[in-house]
A and B are shown apart, each in its own frame.
Chain A
């Protein structure tokens, strides 16, 4: 079946098998391998991307369901000139990653969270990333990064 969607601002048209999962489409057909596959069972959140600006687990969505959608992956966050997105910058500043495997999904989940709730409490951040598992950090610095990104955005807006 023919699908067309916008990924990180560029339009893609492909013929896909209906059973193709969005994550496989993004990684193997579009060639954007920043989105990781972790558990493959909608649990770990490593495959989180934005569909229409909202976080979604791309292992639990068919590419055909995303036909016509506007997708953002981790590759689409930084500026064209390489300047990091505030959430990426916050992960660097707060050392919010160790092995890095969960990081693309974590960052996308937090971008979505901050869009819905620009000034979350620490508890709201922890609940907001309940769909993303990290086996290295103990979450502490990830939560710190999300709060730092929210603070920077506030400072930027002021």
Chain B
């Protein structure tokens, strides 16, 4: 399978990338690790006229402490997030989840920014960002803005990023010492989660769901129940409140609702015990 033809532009810095993106018109796409985009292009589900390769922009791959937050450059590869000492110490959920994406080959190429910007309800890292209360930095020719993760995922593969914006940084509030859990239910190694749950329990509590709708979502009803004093089993019973989980070859909607309830309870128990 070979992608449809496209114009290839390689950006050597962020300003150049922004310019190339604007020049590329409405269906220009950014290429980072390419592990979400290229499979879609090979299946001809995506056929951008221009690809702007940002994979070589040197200063967008990093992990730094900034006060109470850990900031991760958008081009940081999953493998580097997985093994980074700072992420392991202050956001172990994120490190663990980065290590659950795809397989080692995918993690060598795929980037955290690419995964977030792709906005797939079935992918793991957006859920981890939601549970951690992460914020995303986007840069465009008109300036820089910060978008809360809970406002970022708008619809099926659709995010709050405007066509002229580039996601540059993921800021994760430190959750040093907090309990956490990631429950990924799938039938085969390397598969997408049929349902997944990310949970953090510490100074702040965050619970989010993978593959339970058209977007990665916070389990708001679970969070509210916990805040209201519900026990874990009671809180977990609200796992799919207000959600319309998809039905596909792997699972019916009803089965996903069941899985969400079970996995949220397990996640809450594990995050408490941690």
A residues near B (Cβ < 8 Å) are 1, 17-21, 24, 40-43, 45, 48, 51, 54-57, 59-62, 64-65, 109, 112-113, 127-128, 130-132
Contacts and interface: CB of A to CB of B under 8 A. Distances in A.
Contacts of B88: none
Contact of A45 (B4, B51, B103): B103
20 contacts: A18-B6, A21-B42, A24-B2, A40-B1, A40-B42, A41-B42, A42-B38, A42-B106, A48-B105, A54-B108, A59-B42, A60-B35, A61-B34, A65-B34, A109-B104, A112-B108, A130-B103, A130-B189, A131-B105, A132-B103
A63 to B, nearest CB: 10
A43 B190 contact: yes
A55 B108 CA distance: 7
A41 B55 CA distance: 21
Given A19-B2, A19-B4, A132-B103, 10 more contacts: A18-B6, A41-B1, A45-B105, A59-B42, A61-B34, A62-B8, A62-B34, A113-B104, A130-B104, A131-B105
B207 to A, nearest CB: 26
Interface of B: 1-8, 10, 31, 34-35, 38-39, 42-43, 51, 53, 55, 79, 102-106, 108-109, 189-190
A118 to B, nearest CB: 15
Nearest to B77: A54
A48 B109 CA distance: 12
Please list the 6 inter-chain residue pairs (A to B) with the smallest Cβ-Cβ separation, ordered nearest first: A131-B103, A18-B8, A130-B189, A54-B108, A19-B3, A57-B105
Contact of A17 (B5, B35, B53, B189): B5
Contacts of B43: 41
Nearest to B50: A18
A76 to B, nearest CB: 17
A125 B189 CA distance: 13
B39 A60 contact: yes
Interface of A is mostly: mixed
Contacts of A65: 31, 34, 53, 55
A75 to B, nearest CB: 19
A70 to B, nearest CB: 14
Best-buried of B2, B43, B102, B108 by chain A (most CB within 10 Å): B108
A147 B207 CA distance: 39
Nearest to B102: A131
Contact of B190 (A18, A61, A130): A130
Contact of A56 (B1, B8, B105): B105
A43 B39 CA distance: 10
Contacts of A61: 34, 38, 109
A132 B3 CA distance: 23
Contacts of A113: 104
Contacts of A41: 1, 39, 42-43
